[in-house]
Amino acid sequence: MTKKERELRAQLQEMKKAADKLIEDGKTEEARSKMDEMKGVRSQIELLVEARSFEMPSVKGENYVPELERKDPDPKDEKRSDEKYQEEYRRVFLIGLRGQKLSSDDRSILESTENRAMSGDTGEDGGLIVPQDISTQINELKRQWNPLEQYVRVENVATRSGSRVFEANSDLTPFEVLEEMGQTPEIQNPKFSSLNYAIKDYGGILPLPNSFKADTDQNIMAYIARWFAKKSVVTRNSLILALANTLAKKDLKDVNAIKTVLNVGLDPAIKINSIFITNQDGFNFLDSLMDGNGRPLLQPDPTSATNQLLFGKQVVVISNRFLQTTGTTTKKAPLIIGDLNETITLFDRQQQSIASTDVGAGAFETNSTKVRGIEREDVRIFDNEAAVFGQLTITTGTGA
């Protein structure tokens, strides 16, 4: 779709709104005049659509027409055109989200190849693809919900399955001494490992009362964005924590055991970027520890007013609901120690979609609109030696 065609479609939509308003106000003659103008614009659009089926000569022959030679677009004009098109797409997106009927022009915008996405299975995924500006808002909100994906390696992918090749963590040996005029020995080859992924779809349905249709576009956008952000963070955090839980467990009886994991259990290169991840119980226990001079072991992070440091490493706190303490009499709180960027890889297909209905899935019976949100990702272990899943003993039962 050319810039000119986009502008004409936007112009036609504005003219239609004006015509509808004239009809409602009973201004028949003015409405008819506006409709005649719309016919002229529609004819231009139809001509542009038809022109797309013809190929222009690639060389300057005898039939060359200078006026038809393609000129490089002005980047500023292209940006303004894209912004206008995004506004139009968002408007159509909200019409579809409300369950209202789309006009043929609206549907052409919605089904534009620049905004549609294929699911990877057979056929289209059938949803309303989240507009670019809403996706940006969702990602901004996600950062407010303490997402663990900021600590792991994130690989953006465009296919539902595949693999990535990474250099494997292996023991390196030093070069050998060379004798003068002697044979130079072959050295150890670098070792690589392949990490396979298979994208899965994760989603849910949000029931909304039909009164939301009367809300402003901004209210609807903000609500959907908040819901998407929270669900996305909880989903990805759960996947990351479930994978971390598969690491070998190590009992941590006291502070010295924590130091030993950090200083000896991890490679010095891994220790540099290591962090602590624990739950509320674990943080409460760490917050009660004192050094030999009666000073708290947990110290405030000078670079962040909300972060705490243990031995100079950031402590990330997850709710007990998602990262649970185990045991009944002897309770053990999780304390993950290491560099999650080297431990876990999240494969992100970066496709968020929304579909809505006010008649199916029980929406008609409850006078509601149901919105389905879907996102796509996979999480895999990359290096299981880059982190330790510690179990911090916080209370000891009788006889333990």
pLDDT digits (tens, 9 = 90+) for 251-296: 998 899 999 999 999 999 999 999 999 999 999 999 999 888 888 9
CA pair distance 19, 132, nearest whole angstrom: 30
| Chain mean pLDDT for the chain | 80
- Looking at per-residue pLDDT, the higher value among 136 and 173 belongs to 136
In a domain, 62, yes or no: no
In a domain, 282, yes or no: yes
Q: Which of 62-76, 96-110, 259-273 has the lowest mean pLDDT?
A: 62-76
In a domain, 321, yes or no: yes
Q: Could you give the dihedral angle defined by the CA atoms of residues 48, 49, 55 and 56, in that order, rounded to the nearest 10 degrees?
A: 10
pLDDT given at position 82: 63
pLDDT given at position 21: 82
Q: Which of 75-84, 89-98, 280-289 has the lowest mean pLDDT?
A: 75-84
Q: Check whether residue 230 and residue 377 sit in a common domain.
A: yes
Q: Which of 59-68, 133-142, 212-221, 346-355 has the lowest mean pLDDT?
A: 59-68
In a domain, 103, yes or no: no
- Mean per-residue pLDDT, 1-19: 77
pLDDT given at position 276: 97
Residue 59 has pLDDT above 60, yes or no: no
In a domain, 87, yes or no: no
Tokens of 70: 């393609």
In a domain, 138, yes or no: no
Strand pairing of 200-209 and 368-381? antiparallel
Domain boundary among 14, 31, 47: 47
Q: Check whether residue 157 and residue 40 sit in a common domain.
A: no
Domain boundary among 13, 32, 47: 47
- Mean per-residue pLDDT, 235-241: 95
pLDDT class of 364 with cuts at 50, 70, 90: low
Q: Check whether residue 22 and residue 157 sit in a common domain.
A: no
Q: Which of 163-177, 239-253, 383-397 has the lowest mean pLDDT?
A: 163-177
Q: Check whether residue 350 and residue 215 sit in a common domain.
A: yes
Residue 159 has pLDDT above 80, yes or no: yes
Neighbours of 239 (CB within 10 A): 21
Reference 167, options 184, 153, 157; nearest CA is 153
Neighbours of 328 (CB within 10 A): 7
- Looking at per-residue pLDDT, the higher value among 109 and 79 belongs to 109
Residue 211 has pLDDT above 60, yes or no: yes
pLDDT class of 13 with cuts at 50, 70, 90: confident
In a domain, 326, yes or no: yes
What predicted TM-score, i.e. pTM, was given to this entire model?
Answer: 0.69
- Mean per-residue pLDDT, 381-386: 91
Residue 56 has pLDDT above 60, yes or no: no
Question: Is residue 283 within 8 Å of residue 319, measured between CB atoms?
Answer: no
CA pair distance 101, 18, nearest whole angstrom: 19
What whole-number percentage of the chain has pLDDT above 90?
32
Q: Which of 36-40, 128-132, 136-140, 241-245 has the lowest mean pLDDT?
A: 128-132
Q: Which of 239-243, 270-274, 347-351, 367-371 has the lowest mean pLDDT?
A: 367-371
- Looking at per-residue pLDDT, the higher value among 76 and 32 belongs to 32
CA pair distance 238, 29, nearest whole angstrom: 62
Domain boundaries, position 10: 1-47
In a domain, 250, yes or no: yes
- Looking at per-residue pLDDT, the higher value among 275 and 6 belongs to 275
What whole-number percentage of the chain has pLDDT above 70?
80
pLDDT class of 363 with cuts at 50, 70, 90: low
Residue 67 has pLDDT above 50, yes or no: no
Structural domain count of the chain: 2
CA pair distance 387, 339, nearest whole angstrom: 6
pLDDT given at position 171: 62
Strand pairing of 249-252 and 200-209? unpaired
Q: What is the CATH number of the domain that holds 274?
A: 3.90.1690.10
